Structures are given as structure tokens and as C-alpha cells.
Structure 1
Amino acid sequence: MIKIIKSNFINYTIGCILLLVCSSNCFAQREIIMSQYMYNKYSINPAFAGSHESLSLFASYRKQWLGFDHSASGGIATIHSPLKNETMALGAQVYSEKVGVTNNTGFNISYAYRTNISNTTKLSFALSAGFYNQNNNWSDVTIIDPEDPLFGYAEQLSAPWLGFGTAVYNNNYFIGLSIPSLVYSDNYETGENKLDFGKIDYLFTGGYFFHINSNFTLNPATLVRVNPNTTSFIDFSTTAIINNALICGVSYRTTNEIVGILGYQISPQTRITYSLDYTLEKLSNYNNGTHEIALQFNFGYKINTPNPKFF
């Protein structure tokens, strides 16, 4: 029997519930949902590698349920670029997160093959490969019996990270389908890594740029996650781009969360964005929301790139 030593037992109990909710809403092995997927589609679909037609770097950090002790946090960084032969593109991403006593890290690289299906539209197919590592530090749990053999040690689990994606995009729209990881890792029961199409994530994303006038663009987008074994959801977002610089957006996730997004295009190469997630459930009374900040830098771009600032 575990006895949690904490000044406010109610808050800790709700914290456990929050961690369970977080674990049920994961992207492949990642347990933290990144709300700014529309600005870094490569992180959920390797087929978007090279879509900026330049060397593009994106980094973000996310802190869930600010103000609540031991809440989840994590970050992701990606880099991708087309090659001299523009039919090919390469990319890589690394992430790290902490959820309770669990630390997750991962790294993968990807290769995308791109072909023109019209003068302005590209079709891309991509494969990604890497590894995933989970470290459970059970010694951080306070228990009555310090000799309990189930605690007091660190457990490390590793798994391959193999993914696939396809996408179509041009100046006005994007659409993609991806499987972030073909390998299902049963880290808490059998410890096995296996191919199980009934337990992996299937991600669909799409969006369109409505150029209302030279100073105002509206960009609705959606992300659909389907997982036959756990929680599936749909994220609907709409972003307004004002004077090619100011970014204001809002999204709703069917897990009963609303997200506000604010950003600024500092230069044609540099953009900073911030988002605040707010749950509409009663758990919102016990935290100050989820905060995410991201920075993107393109090391140069071509005039004919599809929406170089915002794609």
C-alpha cells in the first residue's frame, strides 16, 4: 500500500487523474500533445520534410497544468530541408518529456520523396526511423515500506521508432496522413514491442489558406487522431494572419479543451508563437492552463516557396 505524503491530498489525487488523462492522449510514444501542430506539421508527418523549401528549424517547449506540482512538461525540436535534388528531402526530430516519475526521450530521422503533380502542387511520401527510451524512476515514489521490491529502483525501456507519412501541398492548402510509429510498445504490461495496427495512432491533418486581401489571411486547419485502443480526438483551429506579421488563432479539441494562439512574424525567416490550452472540465479549477512557446527559423527561402512565412 502506497501512502502519498503531501500537504493537500485532494490536489494530489486530482494530479494523478490529470496524469492518467495525459497518458491517454499521446502521439505514438509521446505523451504530450503539442497544440501548435499547424506550424510544425513535420513533427507529426515526415512527408512535410522540405515543405518550406529551405532549411527549417523549429523548437517548442510545453508545460501542462501550470501551478500544479509535478505536472507534465516537455519539448520537441525538428530540422528538415530539401536536398539539391529537390525530389528528395531529409529531416530529423528529437523530443524529451517528463510525466510524473517517467522520463521519455526519442530521436528519429526521415527521408521524403517528393514529386510534382502540377506546376504548384507536390505529392510527398516519407519514412522515418529512430528510437524511443522510457525511464521510470520508481524511487521517487514515497511509500510506507522502503523495502518494497516494486519500488526503489529505476526501470528503463527502449523501442524502435518507425513511421510513415504522405502529404499533398501547394500555396493554398495542405493535407496529410501519417502513422507516427508502426511499432506498438506495451511498456506497462508485457514490455513487448510489436506491430499491432489496432493500437497505434493514425493522424490526419489538413488546412487551407483563404487570402481575403493583401493584409488578411484566414487559415482553418484540423488534426484528427484515431487510435482504436485509446482516446481519439479532432482538433479544429482557425488562424488569422494580419499584415503578414501578427498571428491570432483559436482551436477546439474534442477532448473538451480550447486553445488560444498568438504569434508574431519577426522577419521573413523568424516566427515566435505562444499558445494557452484551457480545459472546459472541472479540473480547470486546480491549474492555470497549459502553456506552449515555439520558435521557428528558416535559414533562407525561395520566392516561389508555398507560403514561406506560414506554411
Structure 2
Amino acid sequence: MTTHTTRMLIIGSGPAGLSAAIYGARAGMQPIVVQGLQPGGQLTITTDVENYPGFRDVIQGPWLMQEMQAQAEHVGTRMMWDTITEVDIAGGSPFTAKGDSGDEYVGDVLVIATGAQAKWLGVPGEESLSGKGVSACATCDGFFYRGKKVAVIGGGNTAVEEALYLTNHSEDVTLIHRRGDLRAEKILQDRLFAHPRISVLWNKRVEEFLGDPLAGGLTGLRLADTETGEFSTFGCEGAFVAIGHAPATELFRGKLPMDESGYLLVKPGTPKTDVPGVFACGDVMDHTYRQAVTAAGTGCMAALDAERFLAEREFSKVAETAEA
């Protein structure tokens, strides 16, 4: 077992974690990034990225994350190929984390950037057609479906918000829900039902995504009526699965405050958790925006606040020594 020590320990290597690393390294904190099970985060399974600032043309998600990692390493970040299995934050700084490799990581500050994963239906065609007509983020991918017929699958706030957003690009949006009523807030339901471009298919369960990923992508959905059991086919060119996200916060259950969905709670307008020196950034604390650029922004905020935390602690130590 090897013990790795650093002033800034970062768990997670998506846009939030790598942005925190870039700013932390430039501040001389020599950060360590433990990459986790999915190095680079969700962007590594995202093909076309058209909304990240600074690029006129469509770029590839994996390429963007490779560039972020290269920049982080260039300014002094150490990347560790490991997965954290246990953390100890109860005693305050320094914080300790144990990796699946058996190694131990110790940081004066801890930045949590473990992200969140979209929940999927787990039906045939969903995985093979992902990025070829099937998506879990209308804000990310809706632009690619301008003028096309699209479907949104779900019945909560996220599904209704995605359907409303997609009307900016499509004149034919259908919300498909497996029940006969929505779980979304009433004000969102009112907006949905009043919108002329949105229709609703009730009591329908998606059984399969239809199409060929090598020849045009998604062509439709195979649906089952949840009341009669009858099957039908719904033709569309885009389908957005909007049944929620699962933040990767199991490591911190019982150790940090979370909301009912498992997202880490931070002080409003900051990445600060209830434990001094522990910061959360990116999708692990953001259930509203969930964009690469907002994740990167909160990663920057975490690094700046971490630098201030360490500077204030050093100042206090110097003051205490002078008084003694």
C-alpha cells in the first residue's frame, strides 16, 4: 500500500474535477485527481458536443476530456487510475480516502466531483442507438433535432421541462408516460397541456427503441399499453429518456447532508459542504443545469474556495504562533 499526500484531493475526473485541478494546480496546490470508474465522466460517452464555449464546429466529448486532462497534467496535476471505496472526513482536515487498489490518499482539502448518471430504461435498442437518436439530455442534444419529430419519456418535472424545451427546436413533441397522470408540478403540467406543439401518450411503456445505428439511427419506439397490454409502434427521429439522474454519492451517505434524491447539499451560491475543507462541484450537487460548462464553472469555484480555506488556515496558524 502506498500513501499519496496532497494539498488538494479531487475525486472524479469530469469537467468539474479537471477544472478544479487546473485552477488548483495553478495555485500551487499540486492536486491529485482520482479518476474513478469512468475517467473523464459522462462526456466520454457523448459523441457530438456543440454547446461548449470556444469551438465553432462540433467537437467530440472524449476529445474534449482528453484536452482537459492534458491541460491539468501540464500545470502540475497528478492523475491516479484508481477508484475510491472509502472516505474519512469526520475528523476534519486532512481528509483520507482509500482506493480499490489498496492505496491511501490524504488531502488537506477534498473536492468531490463524482458526478451523476442518467437513469435509463434498460430496454433493447437503447444502448446501441444512444447518440443515434436516443439521448438523456434535451438541453445537450435538442439542437440536433431541429424540425424533427421527437418523443420524451417520463412523467416528472424533468420530463415536462425537457418536452417544453424541445419545442424550441421541434414542432412535434410527444410526451410518453406509463401512467395516466403526471408527477410533475402543477404549474409545469399547465404549461405542457397548453402548449400547441406538445401531445401526450398516456399509459404507454417503451418496450424497444427501433432503428439501425449504422443506417439513419432511431426510427421509432415499440410501445406497450399498460392497461390493455396491446403493442403499437410510434414513429420518431429523436427520443429523450427523462426518468431522472442518480448522483454518485453513496460514499458520502451519512457523512454529508444530501437532498431526497441523493445530491450533496452545499451552501447557496458556493461549493462548500457542511464540513470545512470539503467542497462539492458538478453534477453531484447540481440537479438543475447538468451541463459540462456549468460543471466546469463550479469546479473553478471549488478550487478558489479551497485555496482561500488553506490560506485562512495558514494565517490562523501564523497568528497563533505569534501570540504564543
TM range (shorter): under 0.3
Given the two structures, how large is their TM-score scaled by the length of structure 2?
A: 0.22
Q: Looking at CA atoms only, which structure, 1 or 2, has the larger radius of gyration?
A: 2
Which structure has greater helix proportion? 2
Given the two structures, how large is their TM-score scaled by the length of structure 1?
A: 0.23
Which structure has greater strand proportion? 1
